[in-house]
A and B are shown apart, each in its own frame.
Chain A
Amino acid sequence: MELRILAAPREQQALLDLPWDMPLEQWPEWYLVALPRGISRHVVRFTRLGRNVYALKEIVKPFADREYQMLRDLARLDVPAVQAVGVVSGREAPDGEPLDSVLVTRHLQFSLPYRALFARMMRRDTVDRLIDALVVLIARLHLTGFYWGDCSLSNTLFRRDAGAFAAYLVDAETGELHNGLSDGQRAHDLDTARTNIAGEMMDLLAAGQLDESVDPIAVSDQVVERYEALWTELTEWEAFDVNERWRIARRVDRLNELGFDVDELDIVTDIGGRTIRVQPKVVDPGHHSRRLLRLTGIDAQENQARRLLNDLDTYAAVTEQQGEDEEIVANAWVLDSYEPVLRAIPRELRGKLEGPEIFHEVLEHRWYLSENLGRDVGLEEAARDYVDTVLPHKPDELAILGGTSAEPDTTQPFRITWNDLQ
């Protein structure tokens, strides 16, 4: 059989140099950038090519092709998911023994597996934020017609988002893309999520990595409750008297606050004209991050964007530019505030956090510093102090690839396949 690498041309070149005639499990260490770890039921390894880190998953060809296509579709639909790079198939060992295909995905920079987050004792509110991020991801997936089939914390990666988290889908192996989902599909997806998350939490508890005040079952119930509340806000009909038309605007505001843009709203008036019913038809996540991107070209998570936009508003007020054209003010803010802060970060500390997250932390730091010193500390001074006293003590999060224990297999839930049944 011939070796076939399906990938973007730029990455194809680099991929060619890897030892595809060896089972992934036997690859020599110098090809790998992290310890092997059992994030999934398949053999998974990480390798570095050029400036990027890639995740390689060994899997039968139809599954590799399917997941590759699925991840490409999700990217097209603008769903937060890892990026598929290619499929390597037709692999053969030197003795002619055929080897499974390999699905190649690009490692998501600054992403955190939940095990890494829990490596230090996790507080209750951090757990809540993690769950909130996952709920938003599930709702987004369901809005686009994606049925996950195996939603869990281990199939998700998290990025910091101004004190909260943003969730990314990692494993689309069991996923299905439909025009729309039935209530049954959504309910089943949630039920799976609930069971998996409870199991993962119970395991953390058994390992002593979870604060005793966190109840795994309550946390998993919370997933369902929060999802239902969000889904209702996103999709339910709302009826009110014709004199209460302001409630339309309030519904839109609430959705914006949750981070969703309303592209289409269905408004129906009954025959007497006394009652109005409203339902959001097309909602688009990323309200704040889209606005920030448009104004400044800064690509940030939703909460980071909210934080940065708030600072931009403050800047406009302080510099008395409120009446000015939004884009001009935004441009000035980038030059006066955002870029100087990022420039203050020495190169060797840039792998700690993403730019927008650093800016958010400097804003926080400025607040605490001002309070302590009893005077308003400027952004520049806050940034300097942050670089000196806070940032160096943070872990490098550019490429955290596994749990942090020396024995990753014991900290990861491991997947059992039928293969083991013999």
Chain B
Amino acid sequence: MATVTFDKASRIYPGTDKPAVDALDLAIEDGEFLVLVGPSGCGKSTSLRMLAGLEEVDGGAIRIGDRDVTHMPPKDRDIAMVFQNYALYPHMTVADNMGFALKIAGTPKDEIRRRVGDAAKLLDLSEYLDRKPKALSGGQRQRVAMGRAIVREPQVFLMDEPLSNLDAKLRVSTRTQIASLQRRLGITTVYVTHDQVEAMTMGDRVAVLNAGLLQQVDSPLGLYDKPSNVFVAGFIGSPAMNIATFDVKDGRATLGAADIAIPASISSKVAEEGSDTVTLGFRPEALIPASAEEPGGIPVLVDVVEELGSDAYVYGRPAGPAADEQADRLRSDQIIARVEPRNAPQKGEKINFTVRPGSEHFFSVKTGERLEP
């Protein structure tokens, strides 16, 4: 049982000026499932490997519990890298398959028996301990493999994209299994993925990284509801948030005919930084179809309708008189809206959307940081 602390930890690869991980500050709680997520090259894997002892730490410190492990060899850190697969040995019993690594480490026999017994109980394998792996089902074999990591009773589990070689369907079922096993074990776990859906469904908390910098660390819902900057807003959420630059004038944000009332505090914050524009984001579910006559709406030409049964998503592009300007100021090529699945529009239709009041996200055009009303 242990906490994990990154204390201004940096990694600068030889021959580069820009740190791959830049002064990472992150406190992971005991027993927590923390996910590191971000696009490729963001520093998530490097951070995990710094914790594992595979990457050198050029600045700052890393602690597991109270122990400073910054320059400790990997095997002394009391961590286990959980691989996506382990070899099972056909001539050895299930118990030996689970416990042999402890034998190498010189763990006394009684202790090995106890740990293997405990792990087997947890994994529902107690009655199979004397069998050979061949006699087990696929799922049971998988649990034996997991057992190998568990009997080491490490303070921290590390997982680096363990599901990346699976097809989409298996990934979904497997991530649930890993998450539930981690909760039963209660061992602090750091998990790396590039897939924000995986991150959101598995983590107690999710740390979003970009270009070597920690952007935000929060619960999945916290990230979704209050992204702390434009990057997180655009990265978290599937389908993605609609984000565009709006003009700010007289307490309203406008872009072409789109016209949204904004809180006075936002207007004054925009004015304070000497700007007359604001980055405005609204999630697909914040768009409501409105009648064509309603003022301030965003006319959208429907390109694609994605029917998911429980939901439907409209992918379209601005279609009003100011369509070109709106398209220019939009951060993606399309506007995405969630609509009633039983009432979805057809491809080629034109719909007027308004933004549900109070569901907008505001960001500074200068810094990209979130502006709180």
A contact set with B: CB distance below 8 Å? 41, 59-60, 62-63, 147, 150, 152, 154, 174, 179-180, 182-185, 187-188, 191, 194-196, 198-200, 202-204, 206-207, 217, 220, 409-422
Contact = CB atoms under 8 A, between A and B. Distances in A.
A297 B81 CA distance: 46
A191 B75 contact: yes
19 contacts: A59-B165, A154-B87, A180-B14, A187-B75, A188-B53, A200-B89, A202-B96, A203-B90, A206-B91, A206-B92, A414-B87, A414-B133, A415-B86, A416-B88, A416-B141, A417-B84, A417-B165, A420-B139, A420-B142
B87 A417 contact: no
Contacts of A417: 84-85, 142, 165-166
A contacts with B: majority SS: helix
A198 B74 CA distance: 19
A258 B138 CA distance: 45
Interface residues of B, number: 46
A195 B165 contact: no
A150 B85 CA distance: 10
Interface of B is mostly: mixed
A421 B138 contact: yes
Contacts of A41: 85
Interface in B122-163: 133-134, 138-139, 141-145, 162-163
Interface string B90-116: 111000100011011000000000000
Interface of B: 13-15, 52-56, 73-75, 81, 83-92, 96, 100-101, 103-104, 133-134, 138-139, 141-145, 162-167, 170, 173-174, 177
Given A60-B167, A416-B145, A202 B92 contact: yes
Given A41-B85, A410-B90, A413-B88, A422 B173 contact: yes
B87 A415 contact: yes
Contacts of A174: 83
A303 to B, nearest CB: 30
A417 B138 CA distance: 9
A356 B81 CA distance: 43
Closest 10 CB pairs of A and B: A420-B138, A203-B89, A206-B91, A207-B91, A413-B87, A184-B53, A421-B142, A416-B145, A188-B74, A418-B174
A422 B138 contact: yes
A317 B27 CA distance: 73
Given A200-B89, A203-B90, 4 more contacts: A63-B165, A150-B83, A191-B74, A194-B104
Contact of A182 (B55, B100, B103, B166): B55
A351 to B, nearest CB: 30
Nearest to A189: B54
A418 B133 contact: no
A417 B81 CA distance: 16
In this complex, the member of B15, B83, B90, B162 whose beta carbon has the largest number of chain A beta carbons within 10 angstroms is: B90
Which of B13, B55, B142 is the most central at the interface, judged by chain A CB atoms within 10 Å of its CB? B142
Contacts of A179: 13-15
Contact of B88 (A217, A414, A418): A414
Given A195-B104, A422-B138, A409 B90 contact: yes
A412 B54 CA distance: 30
A395 to B, nearest CB: 23
Contacts of B86: 415-416
A63 to B, nearest CB: 5
A97 to B, nearest CB: 11
Contacts of B54: 147, 182, 184-185, 188
Nearest to B104: A198
Given A60-B165, A202-B89, A415-B85, A188 B52 contact: yes
Contacts of B134: 410
Interface-central residue, A184, A206, A410, by most chain B CB under 10 Å: A184
A178 to B, nearest CB: 9
A202 B81 CA distance: 22
A411 to B, nearest CB: 7
Contacts of B73: 183-184, 187
Given A63-B165, A418-B170, A220 B92 contact: no
Contacts of B167: 60
Contacts of A59: 165
A217 B104 contact: yes
B55 A421 contact: no
A182 B54 CA distance: 7
Nearest to B81: A188
B56 A182 contact: yes
Contacts of B162: 418
A155 to B, nearest CB: 10
Given A154-B87, A414-B87, A418-B84, A184 B56 contact: yes
Contacts of B84: 417-418
Contacts of B144: 416
Nearest to A183: B73
A1 B52 CA distance: 40
A179 B55 CA distance: 13
B15 to A, nearest CB: 7
B47 to A, nearest CB: 14
